[in-house]
Amino acid sequence: MKQSVGAKTMAMPTPVWLVGTYDADNKPNIMTIAWGGICCSTPPCVTVSLRKATHSYAAIEARKAFTVSIPSQAQVAAADFAGIVSGRDIDKFAACNWTPVKSELVDAPYVSEAPLVIECRLLHTLEIGLHTQFVGEIVDIKADESVIGDKGYPDITKVQPFVWDSCHRRYFGLGAYLGTAWEIGKTITAKES
Amino acid sequence: MKQSVGAKTMAMPTPVWLVGTYDADNKPNIMTIAWGGICCSTPPCVTVSLRKATHSYAAIEARKAFTVSIPSQAQVAAADFAGIVSGRDIDKFAACNWTPVKSELVDAPYVSEAPLVIECRLLHTLEIGLHTQFVGEIVDIKADESVIGDKGYPDITKVQPFVWDSCHRRYFGLGAYLGTAWEIGKTITAKES
């Protein structure tokens, strides 16, 4: 029996990403977000949603670019911090002991210490309500050598991204391997044939 | 030292969600997606991206509605299956032994056996490229009584959603509790004060 819990943003899992921008003073800033995801394969695009009131919103509008640095679970405290305070008031890179790296491809910085980073040029801006959704075209992804796995692609078990629990405001790590896509489902395909 | 891995859709973590629709023959269908996320808090909105070639695309366009059923990790094989085959060719609900429930709020069905479901009316359609992004306003969320936790909200540790690894096409469960938001970051705030 299902219960209604109301019209709330209680989808799961949602990611924990650090959106990197330069502000009007060329100061690098990051903002932690959970409202985002991949939205297109070709061109490869990622979406992040921000409130207009944030310092990062104006920066994306002005520079037409942003990065997404994906923190590892060992960086959860700093990632949480970067979602509590505003870049107007504090240098979050310095407070987190993180190093801003200027992207060579887009006008935005990323977090050197994050194992995986995405560089984006702004492709679309969609006004929805409290949040504005920015669609960024992924122009490159960069990964620490230490997290590269098979085929030269990032290994999620080495990146160790973590999940935001919007229902109870908690963070959770990545768990057990459950199966390989387009294989584990074949048990059901077989049953139908 | 970071390596370029190219312009690819290798963000992580990404969700595994079942998009529920009615087709032109009123047949309920589901499609497994990983390109989606929350995109606005007020109004609460969720986004899912689909290729135009899919059976579900036309259904969302026609009915201006969809649901998102969030499967539990025990349902990974069926969720994988629902991403392999098309609703044009097969009754995925029947193949997965799942029960379609007609939403009372929007013109779309959800998966009775999924622990958490989101009912959406179509708010925006954004053409991006290979994928079209549908923004749905969340009109209600329904959860199995067995997964309700504190405050009457869904407990992620009971829902047990899982993660799609787009780099190596694998599924992973939810891992350990890492901390509580707006608390774990205060260690860093304190250092700055």
- Residue A191: pLDDT band with limits 50, 70, 90: low
Q: Please report whether residue B93 resides in a domain.
A: yes
Chain A residue numbers touching B41 (CB-CB < 8 A)? 9, 35, 129-131
ipTM, two decimals, is 0.96
Written in H, E and C, the secondary structure of chain A is: CEEEEECCCCCCCEECEEEEEECCCCCEEEEEECCEEEEECCCCEEEEEEECCCHHHHHHHHHCEEEEEECCHHHHHHHHHHHHCCCCCCCHHHHCCCCEEECCCCCCEEECCCCEEEEEEEEEEEECCCEEEEEEEEEEEEEEHHHECHHHCECHHHHCCCEEECCCCEEEEEEEEEEECCCCCHHHHHHHC
Question: Does A118 touch chain B if contact means CB atoms closer than 8 Å?
Answer: yes
Q: Please report whether residue A114 resides in a domain.
A: yes
CATH number for the domain spanning B132: value is 2.30.110.10
Structure letter (DSSP) for residue B153: P
| Domain span holding position B145 | 14-192
Structural domains counted in chain A? 1
Q: Please report whether residue B6 resides in a domain.
A: no
Report CB contact under 8 Å: B133, A47: yes
Q: Please report whether residue A129 resides in a domain.
A: yes
Q: Please report whether residue A45 resides in a domain.
A: yes
Q: What is the pLDDT of residue A1?
A: 82
Residue-level pLDDT, tens digit, chain B, 193 residues? 899 999 999 999 999 999 999 999 999 999 999 999 999 999 999 999 999 999 999 999 999 999 999 999 999 999 999 999 999 989 999 999 999 999 999 999 999 999 999 999 999 999 999 999 999 999 999 999 999 999 999 999 999 999 999 999 999 999 999 999 999 999 897 555 4
Chain B residue numbers touching A149 (CB-CB < 8 A)? 167-168
